[in-house]
Structure 1
Amino acid sequence: MIKRVIWVVLDSVGIGELPDAEKYGDVGSNTLGHVAEFNNGLTIPNMEEIGLGNITGITGLNKVASPTGCYGRIHEASNGKDTVTGHWEMVGVKSEIAFPTYPDGFPKSVIDKFEEFTGRKVIGNKSASGTEILDELGEEHMKTGALIVYTSADSVFQIAAHEDIVPLEDLYKYCEFAREMLTGEESVARVIARPFLGNPGSFTRTPNRRDYALLPPHDTLLDLLAKKGLDVMAVGKIEDIFSGRGITEAVHTKDNMDGVDKTLEYIKEDKNGLIFTNLVDFDMKWGHRRDAKSYGKGLEDFDARLPEILSSMKDTDVLFITADHGCDPTFKGTDHTREYVPFLAYGAQLKKGFDLGTRIGFFDMGQTIADIFNAGEIKNGVSFLGDIK
């Protein structure tokens, strides 16, 4: 009997363009393959041992003769390629309409209402890199107290403020207002607090980021598990992505390695249910910033920690490793990329060397977890538990 699932999302580690990539301007993207190529190969033997290199279409990795786990690739069914869309789909929500984006900035009516509530002027109001906009407007913000509001290719309303100029509690309050304000046609997927410190020329974003996501439109896998009395333990930005819905306890993290540490702490607590972890550095620090070298190093660093997770697991545990979209650091622009995501499954009660092939719908992972716990049916998903167990 499986008593616990450890579900790790390597944020943005896509494995090659989807058939509909042209619709998104992403033909030619391949996050993992291009990172491996850029770095003249990757040293990730532990994920390769489970079967990562054996997945259909994978390039640049080693195939093994006898994988220790199950493996495959999954095609996103929703319309979109952002964090919320991907994670929601994992737990049963199929998004037919992509969240709105604002390449030319937010409407005047939105900015006016936001300024009225905060009592502060807005500067920026455009699509920009998070680090570049601090270099451009950070000094003005410090002199005037005006809030830096910006977006990206994703559906986000981001508010950057220096922690010595705008107290964190005020920044969070401003974000909460923006979340309440941005509804209807302006329902952006996430409002994000982007606090930073430092001086002009050397600004750095702090770990005190907060994401304020829309609530899922209906119950998800997380709700089913929580209602069944199981623990749903969220690591990283998982709690923010679901606005706390269906989460029984959560911990935020400062980086990938802290995320692994917190996951290991939950494993050692010996609770039953789901440990749901997002490792965001791949996306936030390296994908969007087009840093293929650091992206490769990050993959190797995670792989080097994987034996700690595997050795901490009990015979009643299973491990799922996947991603939510791509963000090819060698590709044009700074946007996410529409790609297949990998799927790895490992555990004493699972088959070894089973190839799931290609599946359509991240929600199949969610339904498989629901079946593991006899928690009922989520929307849209089809379980593959009978294939891997």
Structure 2
Amino acid sequence: VSRCPYCDFNSVADGSAPQARYISALSAEAACIVRSERLNRPIASIYIGGGTPSLFSPKAVGRILDTIKASFSSLYAPSIEITIEVNPDSATLERLQGYMDVGVNRLSIGMQSFNNRILKTLGRPHTAQEALAVYDFGRKAGFRNIGIDLIFGVSGQTMKDWMSDVRQVIDLGPEHISLYGLTIEEGTAYARLYKDSRLVKLSEELEIEMYSAAVSRFKDAGWTHYEISNLSRPGFKSVHNSAYWHGGDYIGIGAGAHSYLSEPDWGRRWWNLASPQAYMTAMETRTNGRAGTETLTEEEAVTETVMLRLRALETGMDNAAFQERFGKSIKEALPAWNSLAANGLIEDTGKSLRLTAKGVLISNEVFLRLKGV
């Protein structure tokens, strides 16, 4: 297992975390959270992600799900969306069937591209043929809810390359599609290559053109563009990710996991030790594996609430809900409102604040201005 050169997510390339010991640590953390946090909302989704979770055997995944169900029994709803991220190089038909058998009902496949040259540039270990095969395995295993991730803006990628990937996804017909523009994050191999002028980044204009063309084609083919980076078939929006965009509470367990609770006050978040070894040791010798905690200020809560809600294109930020929580209007709370509206990037429909079509295309700039950067 290796780390992709563009990835800054928490992952470990040496496979040194023993599954039994790691699951015991997860169980201990879940029990700790139940004791220390006042949780009263039913669980809507479970997402097994980060690194390459499909390296975990179905038996191990089953134990993880049993741990969650036992620990949060009073909050466990009967119809929960349970997703596992899989990479084409580590998912076999037998393994996917095993995941289905232990309760997983949704796959998120990190395909990224169907072009072997682009996959090589991304440092992905799988081939286009393997990407197609794992999708077929998912259908044969019985999954009726499959999401595919694609990446655009890759060095050397042309519009022709990108639209070929788009057509391939349309032909496959997954229930969910995620489109991610390649970003160069500090501390990654890509950042070092870019700094040394050995990696050429595509122009912002071409990336916008790629994004717009893909969204248009997918919408014409029957998918709904419900979030900046995501499209779905009717009835197949990602329950898990939608919770983030609508300010829902979430609990993360495991190395590098993040959690957020909207109460008390303006909200609180915490995050775990990134190293699996350090995390397991902490859970064996301490009451938790946390690396840090943060209590949000009202100003931080205002900005974060609006930024997340704006990502949800169908609803945006509800004016009444904002007024109820913060005791002021969005326009009063956000100094950047007037200039963003004047530039045609956001609009007030009367009921909610939303990104305009122009604002969606440069949403990162909109969010930076909302933060006062």
Q: What's the TM-score bracket when you normalise by the shorter of the two chains?
A: under 0.3
- The structure where helix makes up a greater share of residues is 2
TM-score after normalising by structure 2? 0.28
Q: Higher relative CO (CA 8 A, sep ≥ 6), structure 1 or 2? A: 1
